Amino acid sequence: MTNPTARPGARSLLVAGGGIPGLALALALKQAHGPALAVTVCDPGLPAGGARQRGRAYAVAAGARRMLERLGAWARLDGAAQPIHDMAISDSRLSDPVRPVFLTFAQDREGADPFAHMVEAEPLVEALLAGAREAGVDLDPSGVARARPERGAMRVALADGRILTASLVVAADGARSRVREAAGIGWVGWSYPQSGIVATIGHARDHEGRAYEHFLPGGPFAILPLTDGGRLGHRSSIVWTERTADVPALLGGDPDEVLAEIERRFTLELGELSLEDGPSAHPLAFGLARGFRAERLALLGDAAHVIHPIAGQGLNLGLADAASLAEAVSDALRLGMDPGGEDVLRAYERSRRFDTLAMAAATDGLNRLFSNDVLPVRLVRDLGLGLVDRMPALKRFFIGEAAGLRGGQPRLLRGEAL
């Protein structure tokens, strides 16, 4: 891939961006095709490895877990994945003395797989990097400056001045993707008047694999179980959505004051609390690319879509993108077709467009429904939560959707080989 020219249909792939979806795609295709496919991941953050995402954690749905198992990354986590066995949802004001639980989700039978696991970002990234190195993926610590189609291939200029060529370039370089912008693919989006605050909290009592989502007027406050550790023996990750205008006052005090604000929302059900890591605040936004492809270019993960974290589905969407694109490219390669051809990219876009739009609309609607304190709206939504809680079939449907277990999924999400 260092040759400045490439024949049409050359078997080579370049991923711009070394995040989790990009690494998963590179690993999947390299494992499936070995020396027959040259795979390069370009990202100046690669030397830092997983440390650049320290403090973040993700809810990995069952379908995404099966994909990571198939890639061998799950076995490398070495006990760093915490299963979520059930989830409780409440809706209240911060000052309410009682937070009634309106809806619970739990495993519906003994021995059933958890519908999600909590995994910290650092060990997950390290697991994917180790797998990529072992498989022979070229991990290049340089960013992509420009990429344009030329003579049946993509000519890629790196930030250090080198020129690479590939039959397909994958833009996995985040919501502000330079590769997407250079290709002229439009973006529809807006900023929320909210920020997402993330932190790792230590607590004295065992969470027993239970997650909580407290809907408060400023936004949801999620408590997500992590593996044991820390000063108090047990840990959870929080994803705290708050009005951006209020964040400086909430996080601007000393650590004891910040912990006191967290305790007001966390409650003391899990005993004494400690601040293990963070907090850090990140502005929240909605965004969707007008198309997921251009000539010899595919968008992946946050470069294609950004959604509200209310349902914890951002990473799962990105891994579903990787599974779908890997399948489309792999099928083309086995048929002797050009992996960067228009038919391949059209098939990928068709497979992901509807699901992405549906999830983006759902998370945006949920945030607007629950991030307010209008009494009639609160009454209607609490009634709705209570009705769902009394309908086991509907609850199973929602669990299946969130876990990525419905039909028609890419092979990797079903735990099958490409």
Residue percentage of the chain with pLDDT more than 90: 70
> Lowest mean pLDDT: which of 83-92, 373-382, 386-395, 409-418?
386-395
Query: How much is the pLDDT for 385?
Result: 57
**Helix H or strand E encompassing 42:** strand 38-42
pLDDT score of 278 more than 90: no
Start-end of H helices in 74-195: 121-135, 178-182
Question: 12-190+286-406, superfamily in CATH?
Answer: FAD/NAD(P)-binding domain (3.50.50.60)
**Helix H or strand E encompassing 415:** none
**149 beta partners:** 154
Query: How much is the pLDDT for 110?
Result: 57
Per-residue burial over 134-145, b if 16 or more Cβ lie within 10 Å, else e, is ebebbbbeebbb
pLDDT band (50, 70, 90) for residue 384: low
Residue 254 DSSP SS3: coil
Calpha distance 180→177 (Å, rounded) = 5
Hey, what are 78's tokens? Answer: 């070495």
Question: Which residue, chain included where needed, has tokens 């009705």?
Answer: 387
pLDDT score of 276 more than 60: yes
- Between 30 and 151, residue with greater pLDDT: 30
Using alpha carbons only, what angle is made at residue 301 by residues 300 and 307, rounded to the nearest 5 degrees? 140
**Helix H or strand E encompassing 268:** none
The mean pLDDT of 127-156, rounded to a whole number, is 95
CB 373 within 8 A of CB 94: no
Query: How much is the pLDDT for 402?
Result: 56
* pLDDT tens figures, 326-348: 999 999 999 999 999 999 999 99
Dihedral sign, CA of 219, 225, 227, 233? positive
* pLDDT tens figures, 154-177: 999 999 999 999 999 999 999 999
Per-residue burial over 10-27, b if 16 or more Cβ lie within 10 Å, else e, is bbbbbbbbbbbbbbbbbb
Q: Where are the domains of the chain?
A: 12-190+286-406
Give the β-pairing of 86-91 and 144-150.
unpaired
Cβ neighbourhood burial of 256 (10 Å; 0-12, 13-18, 19+): exposed
Distances (CA, A) of 137 to 82, 141, 298: 29, 13, 19
Query: How much is the pLDDT for 136?
Result: 97
**83 beta partners:** 117
The mean pLDDT of 398-417, rounded to a whole number, is 75
CB 102 within 8 A of CB 382: yes
pLDDT score of 141 more than 60: yes
* pLDDT tens figures, 215-262: 888 888 999 999 999 999 999 999 999 999 999 999 999 999 999 999
CB 187 within 8 A of CB 287: yes
